[in-house]
Amino acid sequence: MNTAPEMPWLTLLGVGDDGVCSLTPPALALLKRATTLVAPERVLANLDIDGLGLADSEIVPWTMGVGPTLDFLKSRRGTPVTILATGDPMHYGIGATMRRMVDAEEMLVIPSPSGFSLAAAKLGWALQDVTCISLHGRAVAGLQPHILPHNRILSLTSTARTVHEVGRLLTARSCGGSHLTVLEHIGGAGEKVSHHRADAVATMDAAPSPFADFNMLAIECVTDAEAAIYAPVPGLPDDAFAHDGQLTKREVRAATLAALQPYPHALLWDVGAGCGSVAVEWMRAALGVCAVAVEQDPTRAAMIAENAIMLGTPRLSIVEGRAPAALAALDVPDAVFIGGGITVPDLFDTCWRALKPGGRLVANVVTLEGEARLAELHGVHGGTLTRIAVSRAAPVGAYRGFKPLMPVTQWSLQKPWGTV
Q: What percentage of residues in the chain have a pLDDT greater than 90?
A: 76
Architecture of domain 117-220: 2-Layer Sandwich (3.30)
Per-residue pLDDT, averaged over 307-330, amounts to: 96
Question: Lowest-pLDDT range, 37-51, 125-139, 158-172?
Answer: 37-51
**CATH for 238-414 (3.40.50.300, 3.40.50.150, 3.30.470.20, 3.30.70.141):** 3.40.50.150
User: How big is the CA angle at 305 (ends 302 and 308), to the nearest 5 degrees?
Assistant: 150
Which pLDDT does position 7 carry in this prediction?
A: 80
Rounded-to-integer distance, Cα 224 and Cα 176, Å: 8
Per-residue pLDDT, averaged over 254-267, amounts to: 97
Inter-axis angle of helices 277-285 and 298-310, to 10 degrees? 30
Flag whether pLDDT at 274 surpasses 90: yes
CATH no. of 10-112: 3.40.1010.10
Are the CB atoms for 388 and 252 separated by under 8 Å? yes
Task: Kindly tell me the sign of the dihedral angle through the C-alpha atoms of 276, 271, 323, 371.
Answer: negative
Are the CB atoms for 333 and 294 separated by under 8 Å? no
Q: Is 137 exposed, middle or buried (0-12, 13-18, 19+ CB in 10 A)?
A: exposed
Q: Place 101 in a pLDDT band, splitting at 50, 70 and 90.
A: confident
Q: Which amino acid is at 73?
A: L
CA distances from 365 to 132, 148, 385, 406 (A): 39, 34, 11, 10
Rounded-to-integer distance, Cα 285 and Cα 283, Å: 6
Tell which wins on pLDDT, 62 or 321. Answer: 321
**End-to-end Cα spacing for the chain:** 43
Break the chain into its structural domains and give their ranges: 10-112, 117-220, 238-414
Fold matches, 10-112 and 238-414: no
Per-residue pLDDT, averaged over 143-161, amounts to: 96
Q: What percentage of residues in the chain have a pLDDT greater than 70?
A: 99
Residues ≥6 apart with Cβ < 8 Å to 105: 8
Q: Place 5 in a pLDDT band, splitting at 50, 70 and 90.
A: low
Comparing CA positions, the residue from 72, 36, 70 lying closest to residue 54 is 36
